[in-house]
């Protein structure tokens, strides 16, 4: 997702109390930052933040960190927090490639990926957030018993993501190619912005839940 450059978005984010400005300094100290020993769940590529904000509002006992690389997009999540602050949600502007510099070994209890950029060219496969290269990074920061949930309407990306599991040493607890037709899996489902858009166009939504 790339919004038109919004004047002042970098400045607004730079001053926001909802954004962690030096995330690498928090490595190993996220629970300290939240002031409790609760679990830490992160979303990588959160976009405008509807999903993680909704989760955080619903689950006050869980600490959430939303990660997004573009200021213009992150700004929308900041605005949600300004309108109605939540103490259990922090936002970071960073590139997922640096994730191991921001979270310590096994510091994270759960990872969410939603409608990640497909990077359709073969030579860009390593940039895809559910690629083997990224699964190895998640392996480091995620607790051994932790899991990762991924939703997308992009069938090519999803098929690729499923193929990456075995070589990276992960396995699927759940795989569906039509999430919205599965009442059990839909229980508690929070729609992302892209999920609303693409499911309303009739695209089925794929989802997996994976662990090692």
Shortest CB 37 distance to ligand SAH, Å:
27
Q: CB under 6 A: which stretch of 16-24, 61-69, 83-91, 154-162 binds ligand SAH?
A: 61-69
Tell me if 178 contacts ligand SAH by CB under 6 A.
Answer: no
Tell me if 69 contacts ligand SAH by CB under 6 A.
Answer: yes
Residue 117 annotated as catalytic: yes
39, 70, 198, 203: residue in contact with ligand SAH (rule CB under 6 A) = 70
| Burial letters 6-28, b for 16+ CB under 10 A, else e | eeebeebbeebebbbeebeebee
User: DSSP labels for 152-209?
Assistant: ES-HHHHHHHHHHHHHHT-EEEEEES-GGG-HHHHTT----HHHHHHHHTT---EEEE
CB contact at 8 A, 110 and 148:
yes
108, 130, 193, 206: residue in contact with ligand SAH (rule CB under 6 A) = 193
Tell me if 114 contacts ligand SAH by CB under 6 A.
Answer: yes
> Residue 73, exposed/middle/buried by CB under 10 A (0-12, 13-18, 19+)?
buried
Shortest CB 139 distance to ligand SAH, Å:
17
What is the Cα–Cα distance from 188 to 112, expressed in whole angstroms? 15
19, 20, 40, 46: residue in contact with ligand SAH (rule CB under 6 A) = 46
15, 82, 95, 173: residue in contact with ligand SAH (rule CB under 6 A) = 95
Chain residues in the site for ligand SAH (CB under 6 A)? 1, 44-47, 67-70, 73, 95-97, 114-117, 192-195
Active site residues per annotation: 117
């Amino acid at each position: 997702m790339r919004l038109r450059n919004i004047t002042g978005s970098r400045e607004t984010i730079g001053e926001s109390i909802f954004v962690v400005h030096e995330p690498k300094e928090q490595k190993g100290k996220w629970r300290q930052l939240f002031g409790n020993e609760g679990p830490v769940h992160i979303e990588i590529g959160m976009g405008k933040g509807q999903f993680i904000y909704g989760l955080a509002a619903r689950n006050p006992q869980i600490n959430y960190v939303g990660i997004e690389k573009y200021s213009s997009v992150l700004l929308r999540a900041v605005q949600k927090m300004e309108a109605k602050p939540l103490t259990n949600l922090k936002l970071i502007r960073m590139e997922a490639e640096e994730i191991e510099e921001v979270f310590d070994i096994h510091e994270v209890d759960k990872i969410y990926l939603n409608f990640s950029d497909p990077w359709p060219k073969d030579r860009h496969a390593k940039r895809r957030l559910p690629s083997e290269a990224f699964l190895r990074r998640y392996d480091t920061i995620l607790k051994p018993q932790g899991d990762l949930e991924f939703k997308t309407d992009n069938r090519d990306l999803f098929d690729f993501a499923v193929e990456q599991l075995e070589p990276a040493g992960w396995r699927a607890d759940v795989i569906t190619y039509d999430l919205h037709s599965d009442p059990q899996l839909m229980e508690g489902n929070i729609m992302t912005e892209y999920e609303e858009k693409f499911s309303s166009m009739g695209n089925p939504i794929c989802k997996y839940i994976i662990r090692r």
